[in-house]
Amino acid sequence: MAEKLKNEFTHQQTLLKKLCQQVLQEAIQGKLTTDFRAQNPDIEPAGELLTRIRAEKEKLIKEKKIKKQKPLPPISEEEIPFELPEGWVWCRLGELTYGFQYGTSSKSLEFGEIPVLRMGNIQKGEICWDDLVYSIDEEEIEKFKLNEGDLLFNRTNSRELVGKTGLYRGDQQSIYAGYLVRFHMAGKITPDYTNFVMNSALHSTWCNQVKTDAIGQSNINATKLSFFRFPLPPLSEQKAIVTKVEKLFSLCDQLEAQITTNQTHAEQLMQAVLKEAFSQSGEA
């Protein structure tokens, strides 16, 4: 019976994970915001946002504030995995960022003031502040310091975990290690929406297609990352998507807590039954 209960809870948790992935998939396909588009037919289309981003980046390149990036190829029909709603566009991730930067390769310290985030600190799309290492190198801290809204992409990890991405929300000053790639979205693209895309099945499937496998690990470099095809909605719809997903994820969190509570209660009950059974057996 104990094994049957354990299997049932594992099954429920698996279903919950699938539900969360389905929420993300419907979000990045525009299915969660059908009503929003119907109620807001005159919002600026994503194509105009993309045009502004290109102009902004050209200006920054001329001012030598960012480096010029290599031209990216247009997205072919064969690459498009699903049709987008009217007003959305497919584009390369590299078109939408200010560039990609690898983290520090210097050895970290067990103690210090400035945390160095590593691949283990990216969990479920967020930054986990457990098991930290540190840096006291002022030059490194200045070069690799993170800004609120930065996204961290795990370029080297196991075949299952390579490509996992987390959003840095500015909780505390930090830098990041060499197995991570930092990028920041241009044109006020919503970091949370970007994070949803980078934690969706669309992204994980792409990672499996482009990763380079070696013994015990896989790699996706920044050049490949720049090629990732990104479903871009209008800015106002990005915010509507974030609101919708956060509401649904809150419900998922409640479900997860209920499953965990039920599992704890079931395990406690099982222990009590076994204890009583053995106690009666001993008396006999």
Q: Is pLDDT of 273 > 70?
A: no
Range in 58-62, 109-113, 149-153 the model is least confident about: 109-113
Q: Is the CB of residue 131 less than 8 Å from the CB of residue 172?
A: no
Say if residues 134 and 108 touch (Cβ distance below 8 Å).
yes
Residue-level pLDDT at 183: 98
What average pLDDT score do residues 229-235 get? 98
At residue 9, the pLDDT reads 67
Instruction: Compute how many other C-beta atoms are within 10 angstroms of the C-beta atom of residue 238.
Output: 23
- How would residue 239 be classed by pLDDT, with cut points 50, 70 and 90? very high
pLDDT at 275 > cutoff 80: no
User: Using one digit for the tens of pLDDT, what is the confidence trace for 102-129?
Assistant: 999 999 999 888 999 999 999 999 999 9
Residue 240: inside a domain, yes or no?
A: no
pLDDT at 279: 61
Q: State whether residue 107 is helix, strand or coil.
A: coil
Distance CA 197, CA 153 (A): 12
In a domain, 278, yes or no: no
CA distance 51 to 274: 68
Give residue for tokens 């920041």.
Answer: 184
Query: Binning pLDDT at 50, 70 and 90, where does residue 17 land?
Result: confident
Mean pLDDT of 263-272: 70
| Alpha-carbon span 80 to 242, nearest angstrom | 23
| HEC string for the chain | CHHHHHHHHHHHHHHHHHHHHHHHHHHHCCCCCHHHHHHCCCCCCHHHHHHHHHHHHHHHHHCCCCCCCCCCCCCCHHHCCCCCCCCCEEEEHHHCEEEEEECECCCCECCCCEEEECHHHEECCEECCCCCEEECCHHHHHHHCCCCCCEEEECEECCCCCCCEEECCCCCCCEEECCEEEEEECCCCCHHHHHHHHCCHHHHHHHHHHCEEECCEEECCHHHHHCCEEEECCHHHHHHHHHHHHHHHHHHHHHHHHHHHHHHHHHHHHHHHHHHHHHHHHHC
Q: Is the pLDDT of residue 221 over 90?
A: yes
Using CA atoms, how far apart are residues 149 and 194, in angstroms rounded to an integer?
A: 10
Q: What is the tens place of the pLDDT at every residue in 171-204?
A: 899 999 999 999 999 999 999 999 999 999 999 9
Residue 1 has pLDDT above 60, yes or no: no
pLDDT at 32 (0 to 100): 94
Q: Using CB atoms within 10 A of its CB, is residue 232 exposed (0-12), middle (13-18) or buried (19+)? A: buried
Lowest mean pLDDT across 116-125, 221-230, 246-255: 246-255
Task: Name which residue leads in pLDDT, 96 or 20.
Answer: 96
In a domain, 130, yes or no: yes
In this prediction, residue 5 carries a pLDDT of 60
Mean pLDDT of the chain: 90
In a domain, 138, yes or no: yes
> 61 lies in a domain?
yes
- Is residue 86 a part of any domain in this protein? yes
Whichever domain contains 196, its CATH number is 3.90.220.20
For residue 172, the number of C-alpha atoms closer than 13 Å in the C-beta half-sphere is 10
| Residue 279 to residue 258: CA distance in whole angstroms | 31
Instruction: Report residue 222's pLDDT band, with 50, 70 and 90 as the boundaries.
Output: very high
pLDDT for 278 equals: 60
Instruction: State the DSSP code for 87.
Output: T
* Percent of the chain with pLDDT strictly greater than 90: 75
Domain boundaries, position 79: 44-233
Q: How many domains, the chain? A: 1
Is 29 inside a domain boundary?
no
The answer to whether 218 and 158 are in contact (CB under 8 A) is: yes
pLDDT exceeds 60 at position 30: yes
Q: What is the pLDDT of residue 236?
A: 96
Tell me whether residue 263 is in a domain.
Answer: no
pLDDT at position 276 is: 58
Calpha distance 259→239 (Å, rounded): 30
